[in-house]
Amino acid sequence: RIGQPTKLVSPIKDQNITGLEKSKQLAAWTAVDNHVKPEHRIIGIGSGSTVPYVVERIVQLGAEANQARVFIPTGFQSKELIVSSGLNLGDVDEYPTIDVTLDGADEVDRELNCIKGGGACHLREKVLAEAATTFILVADHRKNVEFLGTSWTPGIPIEVVPFAYAKVLQNLHHILGSPQATLRMAVKKAGPVVTDNGNFVIDAPFDPEVMKKPYTIMAQIKMLTGVVEVGVFCHMAQAAYFGNEDGSVTVK
């Protein structure tokens, strides 16, 4: 559903958290209230710091409702979250059709294209987005942009097989122009970040002008030998929820 953003009133009565965390909770709770239906049995759970609030709200739906459901994770973090919340864990190879997947995003544009992969999970996230009948994004207000590349993201996350990373870095230069792509390093530069699939991640800054055609850029990068998945999701989401500082939620 693409259209004019609308503002909703917060479902949140618990005022214990503040600031950005509150914004994330607002978005997540509202999205769960609007999109997790009693008849839904298979639910995809994304990754990142907003998704725990999705699970928090789902748990509040009650053990009886959730007993009949299976939850599919997008990676190690969401698997832990599902299990530690007492929800039933499943895998996408057992359940390749998902009723609804809820996931975070790094930026979402006015047409619901988005950049994902801040947590290096975008390959599995894209599989679960594609498997879902309904794919919903949840984020704080910083992620709500007109065009991709106009906020603070460090670039397009690109998962690559380790053997090919240097060549992909070189070839990205031809597609994206001057900005220099870099291999994502673990904290304290202990070595490259390794994904749940055993691959590396490149962050590729881009000129926002180039990104006005996100599908074209995504497809060009995906064609590079050694690229496994690109953190640009085009026309996959049905709606995006952003928690605002004033306690409202913007839906687009």
**Residues labelled as active-site residues:** 125
Task: Give me the residues that bind ligand 5RP (CB under 6 A), please.
Answer: 46-50, 103-106, 116-122, 125
Left if phi > 0, otherwise alpha if psi is -120 to 50, otherwise beta: which for 189? left
Q: From the CB of 43, what's the least distance to ligand 5RP, in Å? A: 16
Q: From the CB of 125, what's the least distance to ligand 5RP, in Å? A: 6
Single-letter amino acid code for the residue at 47: S
| Strands 70-73 vs 182-183: parallel, antiparallel or unpaired | unpaired
CA distances from 49 to 104, 106, 119, 120 (A): 8, 11, 9, 13
112 versus 170: smaller Cβ distance to ligand 5RP: 112
46 versus 155: smaller Cβ distance to ligand 5RP: 46
5 versus 154: smaller Cβ distance to ligand 5RP: 154
φ/ψ of residue 208, rounded to 5: -55, -30
Q: From the CB of 155, what's the least distance to ligand 5RP, in Å? A: 13
